[in-house]
Chain A
């Protein structure tokens, strides 16, 4: 029903006419994916994004191009996920992200390729590039999408709104569509074939920004990318989050915090999970001493599994959790950490004998 709604909502703009109109503006049925790499390696998310691009290019009947900005080897890897062509702008200056440089280089590629759809990863940079390019080309923009579908009269996307409590189904009628997706929501699709690598002659502009200083944070794993997030709230009672850090370290995760913990200056604002902070969706979310205000729930309710540890058995967080522990986290967590270590070492011994 919803799908037919998507089509019926745009009667009066039959698809051929729509494509004719877009073709007047010169847009093709091709799809462009913007790759991301660090230290000479593509991010895993880029392969997910390329796989999605392949599926969508098959749907539109166009070709899939991947734009690679900066110096990176192994471009051929992208062919393994269905790229037909790789547009390469090899310049050291593009290795570090600066919005005004990247938008102009990507703008030149979009102008040249005329894709009907440009896919980004829904990172800070992906989202803002999508918005800037959307404005530059008078197209359409959608960020943080978890589903995307091609219709003859444009694209339809699903994106979480109201802190993930709802999904908005949006129809993007203006092309090109610039869409930032949560790429890990989409499966990897292996493909065979070799992509043509094309060196794009774009002059890399100079940035308008001056005195650029970068510093990296202490967190080993970025909170919004972590598979496991261990968060603390008011129940932590103070700035000592060492137990949560130990558990996060053990599970290969990152530490987050509720708004009240941040407001109390126990944790930096960059750690805040919630509707006004970061929205996360890890495989496992462990809420320690967090009551579960709707503001916080909106930032983590999309997590695959939620564990709650709280003294108060009436805390709302329990109604949204898969696994709950009623008790004092300062008594529970040290034992839990010890037990995890013990169980792991026993299973390792079992595996080696």
Chain B
């Protein structure tokens, strides 16, 4: 079973907002980076599929060399191989259009063998969730979003997914694309020996022209561009419930909640 996992590096979700914002807009920022949490679950699930059915797990990313930490974490978790398509696009921002990425990944995947693609439901920095569905469309694959469980038997995959107001269980033939979300698994930790292996093994790098001869033409035009990032200021004036006893405070709370209800 050849499994490809799409991986993205994002600002740590606990990073201070200004720093994370600066990083997304392309300014150099001293920031803790991490693997996108949904992608981490995708890596974990790929490793579980490999453990159950054999095969190989390849990580695929579109990134700059300074964004390889996510790939190293994936290798340290147990992935066999990491491939980075080097970001040669001239944008200064780290914001990357999801449709453009799906075109790039589709071109790369057409040069690879795969039975299963797993990606995170969305990246927690741009919060877009475009790449997965768009890639499935480009490759004409069945895809499952919001996956919280999977079972492969023969050449079919059966997935449990969250849908608005409940759950759904569906089945489709392989190759297919799965989008991992919270609840699918608990990712294993990257171990120290794993991290050492990741450093030793390194990341395979591809150029855009390696995956598509007319790369410049294919990928030069971004369908959407980031014009500005505007911090959301939440101006709130805190009122504390008055009173000495819990009962008095509860009364104040109840009155506040009811006034709020109109």
A residues within 8 Å of B by Cβ? 2, 5-6, 9, 97, 99-100, 103, 123-125, 127-128, 130-132, 134-136, 138-144, 156, 158-174, 208-217, 219, 222, 251, 262, 268-270, 272, 275-277, 279, 283-284, 286, 293-295, 298, 301-302, 305-307, 309, 318-328, 331-340, 343-344
Q: How far is the CA of A174 from the CA of B128 in the complex (A)?
A: 17
Flag if A211 contacts B127 (CB, 8 Å): no
* B111 interface residue (CB < 8 Å to A): no
Nearest CB in chain B: distance from A287 CB, A: 12
Q: How far is the CA of A33 from the CA of B189 in the complex (A)?
A: 45
Report whether over half of chain A's contact residues are helix, strand or loop; otherwise say mixed: mixed
Q: How far is the CA of A197 from the CA of B129 in the complex (A)?
A: 34
Flag if B98 contacts A141 (CB, 8 Å): yes
* B112 interface residue (CB < 8 Å to A): no
Flag if A161 contacts B229 (CB, 8 Å): yes
Name the 10 nearest CB pairs between A and B, nearest first.
Answer: A335-B250, A269-B183, A339-B254, A140-B223, A135-B134, A174-B223, A331-B246, A131-B133, A216-B166, A135-B137
* B240 interface residue (CB < 8 Å to A): yes
A-B contacts, CB under 8 A, total: 283
Flag if A332 contacts B246 (CB, 8 Å): yes
B residues within 8 Å of A by Cβ? 11, 13-17, 20-21, 24, 37-38, 95, 97-99, 102, 124-138, 142-143, 145-146, 148, 158, 162-173, 182-183, 221, 223-232, 234, 236-241, 246-247, 249-258, 260-261
Flag if A270 contacts B183 (CB, 8 Å): yes
B13 is contacted by which of A131, A275, A337, A339 (Cβ under 8 Å)? A275
- Nearest A residue (CB) for B186: A263
Flag if B14 contacts A211 (CB, 8 Å): no
Report 25 cross-chain contacts, Cβ distance below 8 Å, ordered by A residue. A2-B227, A99-B133, A124-B163, A131-B129, A131-B131, A131-B133, A131-B137, A136-B137, A140-B99, A143-B129, A144-B127, A161-B126, A164-B232, A165-B232, A208-B172, A213-B170, A215-B168, A276-B38, A284-B257, A301-B232, A318-B240, A325-B241, A325-B249, A336-B251, A339-B254
Contacts of B13 in A (CB 8 A): 163, 275-276, 294-295, 298
- Nearest A residue (CB) for B93: A168
- Known contacts A144-B127, A332-B246, then 11 further A-B pairs from the complex at CB < 8 Å, ordered by chain A residue: A132-B133, A141-B98, A141-B224, A142-B224, A169-B226, A169-B230, A173-B223, A276-B38, A284-B260, A335-B250, A336-B250
Flag if B24 contacts A5 (CB, 8 Å): no
Flag if B142 contacts A100 (CB, 8 Å): yes
B236 is contacted by which of A6, A167, A306 (Cβ under 8 Å)? A306
- Nearest B residue (CB) for A298: B13
Flag if B164 contacts A222 (CB, 8 Å): yes
Report whether over half of chain B's contact residues are helix, strand or loop; otherwise say mixed: mixed
Nearest CB in chain B: distance from A152 CB, A: 15
Flag if B166 contacts A215 (CB, 8 Å): yes
Do A161 and B127 form a contact, CB below 8 Å, given A166-B21, A217-B166, A322-B238? yes
- Nearest B residue (CB) for A103: B137
- Nearest A residue (CB) for B144: A209
Flag if B167 contacts A217 (CB, 8 Å): yes
Nearest CB in chain B: distance from A72 CB, A: 17
Flag if B253 contacts A325 (CB, 8 Å): yes
